[in-house]
Amino acid sequence: MGQVVVPLKSLHADIPVPAYAYEGDAGVDLRSASNLVLHPFERALVPCGISIALPQGYAGFVLPRSGLAAKHGISLVNAPGLIDSGYRGEIKAVLINLDPHESFEIKRGDRIAQLVVMQTPPVTLQVCEDLPETERGAGGFGSSGV
């Protein structure tokens, strides 16, 4: 698959635009465009300082950063956050502090989430009476073991 070009508008000259940390990474780091403190179990809509123009047939997915989740309990309320190809507003992340005891300070420019762009083919949902059988069937929510 060839490289996909996504036009990006930087809304704040002092905040670095998203970039891959390592060659082959799936996501680019999104940064905070504001300063804030997330207290235990508090959530906040955090602007990321960019707008993008995804090509039709693609979507953006905003995902948590594993280090923030593992070390500080910082995650996304709606993980993944979905960015449709027609959206042109500022990308924002709905962060939550899941640590029951410690507040977490976010400074302008901090890396707070990741953006993954994926191809999303059009789908036609076809109403039917019965679905094809599978070995799994309707088993879910731990049906294969925990």
* Burial class of residue 30 (count of CB atoms within 10 Å of its CB; 0-12, 13-18, 19+): buried
Residue with tokens 């979507």: 59
Query: Which tens digits make up the pLDDT trace of 78-93?
Result: 989 999 999 999 999 9
Q: List pLDDT tens digits, range 101-140.
A: 999 999 999 999 999 999 999 999 999 999 999 988 887 8
Contact 18, 65 (CB under 8 A): no
For residue 84, give both structure tokens: 């449709």
Which CATH architecture is the domain 8-119 placed in?
Answer: Distorted Sandwich (2.70)
Q: How far apart are CA 91 and CA 83, in angstroms?
A: 8
- The mean per-residue pLDDT over the stretch 26-47 comes to 98
Res 1: pLDDT = 62
pTM for the complete prediction? Answer: 0.89
- Sign of the CA dihedral running 109, 35, 63, 116: negative
Please report which helix (H) or strand (E) contains residue 61, including its range: strand 58-63
Strands 58-63 and 81-83: antiparallel
Task: Report the chain's mean pLDDT, rounded to a whole number.
Answer: 95
Do β-strands 92-97 and 43-47 pair in parallel, antiparallel, or remain unpaired? antiparallel
Regarding beta strands 36-38 and 74-76, do their DSSP bridges make them parallel or antiparallel, or are they unpaired? unpaired
